[in-house]
C-alpha cells in the first residue's frame, strides 16, 4: 500500500491567495470547496503559517467527513490535528459512544492548554454551543497510579466516586468502575481501553489493560493516569464556560457554509435547554463585520468579495449507456477514464486514487495496473467523501465513490467502524432465557413455578445458597446453586398464564409424558421433510474463486465474528449437494445484507443466477443501489424488478432473466408472477419473510425443495423461530453490534405537540432527519399541514404506498440526499431501509401495531453512531387493550442492542402460537414452556436418527464430604463448594457464573470459564475450585451414562440409568484421601478409570 506521505502542492497563485486571507484582519470569504480541498488547505496552512486553525462545520456529519479526509491525506491521525465533537447527551457515561465523544472533547481541551497545542482543530457549531469546565479544572484532579505504589484500594475507590465514576458489576464504557475483592476495574475517559488494577494487600501488584467485550486482560502497564469521569460533576451550570475560553485568541477560524452555521445558531436558541449566552458569545466573537476572532468563510455565495481558488471537484464523464448497469459498458467507461488519467500522469501531473479498502485497491491494480502510466499513479488506502483537482497545480485526487459513481454516500464514520460486542446491551440469544425474580420458570423434574430469587438458607446440612421457586399452594423448592442449570425461563404460547404445578404432584409428569408422545409425530414429519430434500438433491457450488476473495476484501467495514461465522455456514451449505434452507437472524444494521451479497456473488461466480425477494419497492431500490455499488468493479449484471420500473423495462428484465443475460435480480412480489422464468436460478434470498402473504409463502415453500434459500430477518416470527430452534431449519445468528452502534431510546408518550416540536428541533439542530409515521393515507395530507404549522423550520415530504412510482422514488431519493428534513410516511418504510442520518422517529397510534411491526419500524433509526430516539405516541386519555399494553411494554423493556430475538419470544407469549404451529403443538408448548419443548423435540429427533440422546435431567452428585453452599456459622470452608459473596458481589453475575460452571458442556468450556474468573475476579478461592471440580465429575459421569454419583462412608456408588451399580469386582470403590480436596481428585480418577 502506498501512503500519501507527500501530498500534492497547491499552485503559487492559490498559495498567495491563502496567505492573504489568512493574514487579513477583516473577514474573508472563499468560494465553496470540496471537502478534500478543505483538508488540503488545512494541511498546507499548518506547514506554512504560525497561527493555529479552527475549522467549524455545520454539523456532526460534515465534521466526520472532514476529519476522515484530513486523516486520509495525512496518512493517519497526526498529533497536530485534534477533533472537538459535539455531545448528544448530558451524561458522559450514558453509553460507550457518548463517553468516547466526551473523552475526545476532554483530550482536545487539555491539548489546547498543553506545551504543544494542536495546529488544527476540527469541530462543528453544535460542539461550540455546549458548555465545558473552566480551564483551571483541566489540570487538577489527575491521579497517577503506578505499579508498586502503596495505595489502599479504598482510597482509589473514594477518588473514583468523587470523580463521577459509576460503579457497576462489569464495565463496558468510559467513566465506569467495578471492584471485585482485590481487583478494581476502571475506564478513565482519556484511555482507549479500560484498565484492571490488582493489589497484594495495599501494594499495587499489577496494572493491565483489558478488552471490555471479553473482559479478559491482554497488556501490562507500569502506570495509568486516572482522571475524573466528568470534570463538571460538582459545578453549577453558571460555572461552566464556552469552549472559546480554551482556544487561542490569535487562532484563524474557517467557517464552512456559514449561512447554515448561522441557521443552527438560531435553531439552538429555540431549544428549551439552550444557554443563550453561549450562542451570543459565538455570534459576537466569530461573526459580524470586525469580530475579535479572525474568520475565513467558505460557502456558495456569488458576490465580489468571494475569492476563487483553483480547487474543484471531479466526476467521471460516463455516458448514459455506461451508467445503465451493464457491466461491460460500465467497465468500458471506467477504462476510458483511467486511460485519460494515466495519460495525464505520464505528462507529469500528480494523480492519486484513494480506496476505502485494500480489496478495492487490489482489484483496481489488477484491472488497470498494466496500462501505460500506471507506475506514475499513487494508489492509497483512505476514505475520501469527494474528489479534487487543480489544473494550475496539476493534480487529481480521485475518491473511490466518485470513480465507481456510487448512487449513495454513506457517512464516513460508518465506513470506519470496527466490530465489537457490547456485552451489556447486545445480549446473546441464549440469554433470552435468563431468569429474573418474579419470572415463571420450568424445572425439568418439578414443572412450572415462580422464581423468587437467590437466598441463603440454613438447614441441618448447614448453610447453602439456593434458587427459590414457589409452586402451587405456596410450596417452595430450594434448588442448590450447583443445579441452577436445571431451571429455564417459561416462555409459553398462550394468552393466559399457566397454573403452577404442585411439588410432588402427578400433573407435571403426565403433561410431560403427553408432550413427549406428541412431539414424536412432529419429529417424524420433520425428518421426512428433511429426507425428501436430501433425496431431491440440489446444486453443489464450487469453492471460492479469486474474485470472491477480492469481492469480500472490498467490504468497507470490519466483519464481526458472528458475521464471519454466518458467512462460513452459508458457504458450507452452498457447497453441499443438499438444498440450503438457512435463516440469518440479526438486528437491523448488523450486516445480514453483506452475508446475502457474498452468497449471491458466489452463486454468480459459479454460473448461476440469484434472486433477492423483498417486501417493498422502497427496500428493493435500496438493495439494488447497494448490490450495484458493491459489485461495480466486477462483471456482474444486477437489476431490479418492481413497480419503480416501467412496463417496458419490466418486459426487458423478464426477457434477460430467461436468456441468462441478468445475473442478480432484486424485486418484490412481482418476481413470483407466472411470467417469470430463470435461465439457471441457483439461489433465492428472502428478506423479512414474515411480510409476505400466504400465497407468496406457498410459492416460496415449493422453491425450497430444490433451490438454495437464504432467509434474513431481525424479528423472526414465532413459527420461524420455533423451526430454527428445533432444528427443522438451519439458523445463523448475528448478535454482535458495530462498535459505535447505540441502543435506541424508546419512550411511550401521549400525543403532545410541544413534545414533538422540542424533539424535532433537537434533531434538526444536530443536522439530522426525522421519520413521522402516520399510517392513514386518507388523512396524511391533513397531517402534513399540521406538521408544517408546528415545524416551519423543517422541509417536509410525504411517502406512502398509493403514490405513483415516479413520485415515490423521487421523494425517497430527495430524503436520502438530505433535501427533506422530515418524512411523513406510512409503514412503507418498515423493512430494511438504511438511512444513517435519520435518528428520530415518531409513531402515531403505536397501540395499533404488532410487536414485530413496532420493532421493525423502530429499527429504521439508530443505524449510525448517533443516539437515536423513538417516540411511541398513544391517544390522550385513551384506554389501551391489554395486548397493546403488553406489546408496548415489551418494546420498552427490550430496547437494547440485539433484542429482536427476545421480542420474538415475547411475541410468542402475547399472540399465542395456535394459528402458527397448530393448536395441538401450541398446547404442548403452553404445558411445558418453549425451551423445554424444544429440548424434548431435539431428544426425539436424536432418538429417531439413532444419535446420542441428550439427557433431560443431569447426573445427581451426593458427596458426604462436600457441602454445596457457604459454611455454617463458626465452621470452616474446607468442604464448601460455592462462589463466595466477597469474591463476586454482584448477584446477577454470580447466578450467571453458577450456570456457566455447572452447565459446561465439556472440559474445554469449563477451563475457559475458570481462566476468565481468574482474570476478572482474581485467584480462585478453594470453594470455587471445588465447584469447578464437581462439574468435571458430573461431566465424567455423564459420559458413562450414570444418573447418580454418591460417596457414603468412603464408598463410591455409581448408578446407571437402568438402576444397576458399577463395582470394582464385587465391591464399591473406596476413597483413601484424608482431605475433601484430595477425595475430589481421587473420585475423578475413579470415574476416568471406569
Instruction: Flag whether 286 is in a domain.
Output: yes
The last residue of one of the domains, among 226, 256, 280, is: 226
- Summary mean pLDDT of the chain: 80
- CA dist 451 and 467 (Å) reads 8
Burial 94-122 (b: 16+ CB within 10 A, else e): bbbbbbbbbbbbbbbbbbbeeeebbbbbb
Element (H, E) at 221: strand 217-221
pLDDT tens track for 328-356: 788 888 999 999 999 999 999 999 999 98
The DSSP output letter for 95 is S
pLDDT tens track for 745-792: 888 888 899 899 989 998 988 888 999 999 999 999 999 999 999 999
Do residues 143 and 159 touch, judged by C-beta distance below 8 A? yes
CATH number, position 1059: 3.90.1150.50
In this structure, the number of other CB atoms found within 10 A of the CB of residue 519 comes to 22
- Say how many domains are in the chain: 5
Task: Determine the pLDDT at residue 681.
Answer: 92
Instruction: Flag whether 19 is in a domain.
Output: yes
pLDDT tens track for 425-470: 333 334 444 677 888 888 888 889 998 888 877 766 667 778 899 9
Task: Determine the pLDDT at residue 948.
Answer: 63
Least confidently predicted of 295-299, 567-571, 613-617, 904-908? 904-908
The last residue of one of the domains, among 307, 335, 362, is: 307
User: 29 and 131 share a domain?
Assistant: yes
Would you place residue 204 in the very low, low, confident or very high pLDDT band (cuts 50, 70, 90)?
Answer: very high
CATH number, position 774: 3.40.50.300
User: 376 and 334 share a domain?
Assistant: yes
- CA dist 581 and 729 (Å) reads 6
Do residues 163 and 92 touch, judged by C-beta distance below 8 A? no
Beta-carbon contacts of 590 under 8 Å, excluding residues fewer than 6 positions away, are 560, 562, 563, 734, 735, 736, 737, 738, 898
pLDDT tens track for 791-848: 999 999 999 988 887 888 889 888 988 899 999 999 888 765 678 889 899 999 888 8
Q: Which residue has the higher pLDDT, 887 or 867?
A: 867
pLDDT tens track for 513-544: 888 777 777 677 666 766 666 666 678 999 99
Task: Determine the pLDDT at residue 671.
Answer: 86
Instruction: Flag whether 850 is in a domain.
Output: yes
HSE on the CB side for 754, CA within 13 Å? 1
The candidate with the shortest Cα–Cα distance to 69, out of 145, 125, 120, 139, is 120
User: 119 and 160 share a domain?
Assistant: no
Instruction: Flag whether 696 is in a domain.
Output: no
Least confidently predicted of 299-308, 677-686, 700-709, 937-946? 299-308
- CA dist 957 and 1053 (Å) reads 10
- CA dist 606 and 683 (Å) reads 11
Task: Determine the pLDDT at residue 354.
Answer: 93
Do residues 348 and 333 touch, judged by C-beta distance below 8 A? no
Beta-carbon contacts of 947 under 8 Å, excluding residues fewer than 6 positions away, are none
The last residue of one of the domains, among 386, 405, 424, is: 405
pLDDT tens track for 207-237: 999 988 778 888 899 999 888 877 666 667 7
Would you place residue 719 in the very low, low, confident or very high pLDDT band (cuts 50, 70, 90)?
Answer: low
User: 884 and 1019 share a domain?
Assistant: no
Query: What is the span of the domain harbouring residue 46?
Result: 12-136+235-307
Q: Which residue has the higher pLDDT, 409 or 291?
A: 291
Burial classification of residue 320, based on how many CB atoms lie within 10 Å of its CB (0-12 exposed, 13-18 middle, 19 or more buried): exposed
Would you place residue 184 in the very low, low, confident or very high pLDDT band (cuts 50, 70, 90)?
Answer: very high
Would you place residue 3 in the very low, low, confident or very high pLDDT band (cuts 50, 70, 90)?
Answer: very low
User: 258 and 396 share a domain?
Assistant: no
Whether 938 shows a pLDDT value over 80: the answer reads no
Instruction: Flag whether 427 is in a domain.
Output: no
> Cell numbers at residue 931, please?
425451551
Instruction: Flag whether 631 is in a domain.
Output: no
- CA dist 1011 and 503 (Å) reads 38
User: 221 and 242 share a domain?
Assistant: no
CATH number, position 219: 3.30.2060.10
User: 266 and 117 share a domain?
Assistant: yes
Whether 911 shows a pLDDT value over 50: the answer reads no
CATH number, position 58: 3.40.50.11180
Task: Specify the long-range contacts of residues 208-215, CB closer than 8 Å, at least 24 apart.
Answer: 210/185, 210/1015, 212/96, 212/171, 212/172, 212/173, 212/187, 212/423, 213/420, 213/421, 213/422, 213/423, 214/421, 214/1012, 215/170, 215/423, 215/1012, 215/1015, 215/1016
User: 38 and 69 share a domain?
Assistant: yes
Task: Determine the pLDDT at residue 698.
Answer: 64
State the average pLDDT over residues 1054-1059: 82
Instruction: Flag whether 994 is in a domain.
Output: yes
- CA dist 289 and 972 (Å) reads 82
Whether 615 shows a pLDDT value over 90: the answer reads no
User: 154 and 92 share a domain?
Assistant: no
DSSP assignments along 852-908, one per residue: HHHHHHHTTS--SSS--EEEEEE-TTPPPPHHHHHHHHHHHHT-STT-HHHHHHHHH
What phi, psi does 864 have (nearest 5°)? -140, -165
State the average pLDDT over residues 940-949: 69
Instruction: Flag whether 951 is in a domain.
Output: no
User: 755 and 769 share a domain?
Assistant: yes
Least confidently predicted of 180-194, 263-277, 920-934? 920-934
User: 784 and 879 share a domain?
Assistant: yes
Least confidently predicted of 601-615, 846-860, 906-920? 906-920
Task: Determine the pLDDT at residue 459.
Answer: 64
User: 85 and 151 share a domain?
Assistant: no
The candidate with the shortest Cα–Cα distance to 19, out of 296, 288, 271, is 296
Amino acid at each position: 500500500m502506498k501512503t500519501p506521505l507527500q501530498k500534492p502542492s497547491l499552485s503559487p497563485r492559490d498559495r498567495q491567495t491563502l496567505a492573504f486571507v489568512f493574514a487579513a484582519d477583516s473577514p474573508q470569504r472563499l468560494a465553496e470547496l470540496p471537502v478534500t480541498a478543505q483538508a488540503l488547505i488545512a494541511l498546507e496552512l499548518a506547514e506554512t503559517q504560525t497561527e493555529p486553525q479552527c475549522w467549524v462545520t455545520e454539523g456532526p456529519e460534515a465534521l466526520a467527513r472532514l476529519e476522515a479526509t484530513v486523516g486520509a491525506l495525512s496518512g493517519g491521525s497526526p498529533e497536530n490535528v485534534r477533533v472537538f465533537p459535539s455531545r448528544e447527551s448530558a451524561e458522559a457515561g450514558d453509553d460507550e459512544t457518548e463517553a468516547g465523544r466526551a473523552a475526545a472533547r476532554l483530550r482536545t481541551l487539555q491539548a489546547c492548554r498543553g506545551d504543544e497545542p494542536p495546529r488544527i482543530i476540527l469541530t462543528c457549531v453544535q460542539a461550540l454551543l455546549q458548555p465545558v469546565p473552566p480551564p483551571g479544572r483541566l489540570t487538577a484532579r489527575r491521579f497517577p497510579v503506578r505499579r508498586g505504589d502503596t495505595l489502599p484500594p479504598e482510597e482509589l475507590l473514594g477518588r473514583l466516586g468523587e470523580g463521577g465514576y459509576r460503579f457497576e458489576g462489569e464495565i463496558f464504557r468510559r467513566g465506569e468502575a467495578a471492584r471485585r475483592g482485590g481487583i478494581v476495574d476502571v475506564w478513565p475517559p482519556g484511555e482507549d481501553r479500560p484498565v484492571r488494577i490488582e493489589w497484594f494487600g495495599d501494594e499495587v501488584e499489577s496494572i493491565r489493560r483489558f478488552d471490555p467485550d471479553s473482559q479478559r486482560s491482554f497488556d501490562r502497564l507500569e502506570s495509568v493516569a486516572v482522571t475524573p469521569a466528568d470534570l463538571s460533576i460538582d459545578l453549577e451550570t453558571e460555572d461552566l464556560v464556552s469552549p472559546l475560553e480554551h482556544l487561542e485568541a490569535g487562532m484563524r477560524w474557517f467557517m464552512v457554509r456559514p449561512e447554515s452555521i448561522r441557521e443552527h445558531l438560531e435553531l439552538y436558541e429555540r431549544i428549551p435547554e439552550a444557554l443563550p449566552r453561549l450562542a451570543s458569545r459565538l455570534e459576537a466573537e466569530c461573526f459580524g463585520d470586525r469580530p475579535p476572532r479572525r474568520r475565513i468563510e467558505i460557502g456558495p455565495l456569488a458576490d465580489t468579495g468571494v475569492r476563487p481558488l483553483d480547487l474543484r471537484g471531479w466526476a467521471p464523464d460516463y455516458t448514459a449507456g455506461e451508467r445503465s448497469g451493464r457491466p461491460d459498458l460500465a467497465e468500458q467507461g471506467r477504462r476510458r477514464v483511467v486511460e485519460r488519467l494515466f495519460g495525464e500522469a505520464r505528462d507529469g501531473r500528480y494523480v492519486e486514487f484513494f480506496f476505502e479498502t485494500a480489496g478495492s485497491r487490489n482489484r483496481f491494480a489488477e484491472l488497470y495496473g498494466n496500462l501505460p502510466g500506471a507506475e506514475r499513479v499513487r494508489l492509497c488506502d483512505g476514505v475520501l467523501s469527494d474528489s479534487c483537482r487543480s489544473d494550475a497545480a496539476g493534480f487529481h485526487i480521485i475518491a473511490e465513490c466518485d470513480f465507481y459513481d456510487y448512487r449513495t454516500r454513506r457517512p464516513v464514520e460508518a465506513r470506519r467502524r470496527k466490530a465489537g460486542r457490547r456485552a451489556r446491551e447486545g445480549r446473546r440469544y441464549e440469554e433470552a432465557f435468563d431468569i429474573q425474580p418474579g419470572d415463571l420458570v420450568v424445572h425439568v423434574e418439578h414443572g412450572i413455578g415462580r422464581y423468587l430469587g437467590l437466598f441463603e438458607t440454613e438447614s441441618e446440612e448447614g448453610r447453602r445458597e439456593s434458587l427459590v421457586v414457589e409452586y402451587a399452594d405456596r410450596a417452595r423448592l430450594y434448588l442448590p446453586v450447583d443445579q441452577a442449570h436445571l431451571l429455564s425461563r417459561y416462555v409459553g404460547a398462550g394468552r393466559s398464564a399457566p397454573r403452577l404445578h404442585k411439588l410432588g404432584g402427578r400433573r407435571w409428569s403426565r403433561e410431560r409424558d403427553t408432550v413427549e408422545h406428541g412431539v414424536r409425530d412432529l419429529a417424524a414429519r420433520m425428518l421426512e421433510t428433511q429426507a425428501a430434500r436430501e433425496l431431491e438433491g440440489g446444486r453443489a457450488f464450487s469453492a471460492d474463486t479469486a474474485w470472491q476473495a477480492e469481492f469480500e476484501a472490498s467490504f468497507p467495514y470490519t466483519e464481526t465474528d458472528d458475521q464471519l461465522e454466518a458467512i462460513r455456514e452459508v458457504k458450507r451449505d452452498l457447497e453441499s449437494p443438499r438444498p440450503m434452507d438457512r435463516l440469518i437472524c440479526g438486528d437491523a444494521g448488523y450486516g445480514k445484507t453483506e452475508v446475502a451479497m457474498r452468497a449471491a456473488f458466489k452463486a454468480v461466480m459459479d454460473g448461476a443466477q440469484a434472486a433477492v425477494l423483498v417486501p417493498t419497492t422502497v427496500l428493493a431500490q435500496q438493495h439494488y443501489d447497494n448490490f450495484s455499488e458493491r459489485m461495480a468493479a466486477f462483471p456482474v449484471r444486477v437489476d431490479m424488478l418492481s413497480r419503480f420500473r416501467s412496463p417496458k423495462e419490466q418486459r426487458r428484465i423478464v426477457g434477460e432473466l430467461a436468456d441468462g443475460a441478468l445475473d442478480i435480480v432484486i424485486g418484490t412480489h412481482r418476481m413470483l408472477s407466472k411470467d417469470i422464468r430463470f435461465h439457471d436460478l441457483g439461489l433465492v434470498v428472502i428478506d423479512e419473510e414474515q411480510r409476505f402473504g400466504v400465497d407468496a409463502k406457498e410459492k416460496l415453500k415449493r422453491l425450497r425443495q430444490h433451490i438454495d434459500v437464504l432467509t434474513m430477518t431481525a424479528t423472526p416470527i414465532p413459527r420461524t423461530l420455533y423451526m430454527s430452534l428445533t432444528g427443522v431449519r438451519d439458523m445463523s445468528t448475528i448478535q454482535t453490534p458495530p462498535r459505535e452502534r447505540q441502543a435506541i431510546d424508546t419512550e411511550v408518550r401521549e400525543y403532545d405537540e410541544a413534545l414533538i416540536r422540542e424533539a424535532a428541533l433537537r434533531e434538526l439542530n444536530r443536522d439530522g432527519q426525522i421519520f413521522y409515521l402516520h399510517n392513514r393515507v386518507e388523512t396524511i395530507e391533513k397531517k402534513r399541514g399540521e406538521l408544517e404549522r408546528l415545524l416551519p423550520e423543517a422541509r417536509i415530504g410525504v411517502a406512502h404506498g398509493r403514490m405513483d412510482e415516479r413520485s415515490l422514488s423521487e421523494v425517497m431519493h430527495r430524503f436520502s440526499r438530505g433535501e427533506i428534513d422530515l418524512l411523513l410516511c406510512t409503514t412503507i418504510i418498515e423493512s430494511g431501509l438504511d438511512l444513517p442520518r435519520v435518528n428520530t422517529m415518531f409513531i402515531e397510534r403505536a397501540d395499533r401495531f404488532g410487536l414485530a411491526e413496532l420493532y421493525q419500524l423502530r429499527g429504521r433509526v439508530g443505524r449510525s453512531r448517533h443516539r437515536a430516539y423513538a417516540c411511541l405516541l398513544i391517544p390522550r386519555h385513551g384506554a389501551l387493550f391489554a395486548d397493546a399494553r403488553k406489546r408496548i411494554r415489551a418494546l420498552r423493556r427490550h430496547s437494547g442492542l440485539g433484542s429482536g430475538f427476545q421480542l420474538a419470544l415475547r411475541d410468542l407469549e402475547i399472540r399465542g402460537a395456535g394459528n402458527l404451529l397448530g393448536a395441538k403443538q401450541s398446547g404442548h408448548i403452553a404445558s411445558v414452556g418453549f425451551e423445554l419443548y424444544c429440548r424434548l423435540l431435539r431428544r426425539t429427533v436424536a432418538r429417531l436418527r439413532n444419535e446420542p440422546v441428550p439427557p433431560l435431567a443431569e447426573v445427581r452428585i451426593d458427596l458426604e464430604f462436600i457441602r454445596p453452599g457457604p459454611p455454617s456459622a463458626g465452621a470452616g470452608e474446607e468442604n464448601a463448594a460455592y462462589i463466595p459473596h466477597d469474591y463476586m458481589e454482584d448477584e446477577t453475575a454470580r447466578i450467571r457464573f453458577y450456570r456457566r460452571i455447572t452447565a459446561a458442556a465439556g472440559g474445554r468450556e469449563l477451563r475457559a470459564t475458570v481462566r476468565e474468573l481468574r482474570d476478572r475476579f482474581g485467584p480462585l478461592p478453594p470453594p470455587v475450585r471445588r465447584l469447578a471440580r464437581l462439574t468435571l465429575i458430573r461431566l465424567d459421569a455423564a459420559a458413562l451414562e450414570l444418573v447418580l454419583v454418591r460417596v457414603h462412608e468412603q464408598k463410591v456408588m455409581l448408578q446407571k440409568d437402568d438402576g444397576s451399580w458399577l463395582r470394582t469386582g464385587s465391591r464399591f470403590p473406596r476413597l483413601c484421601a484424608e482431605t475433601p480436596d484430595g477425595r475430589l481428585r481421587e473420585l475423578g480418577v475413579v470415574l476416568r478409570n471406569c
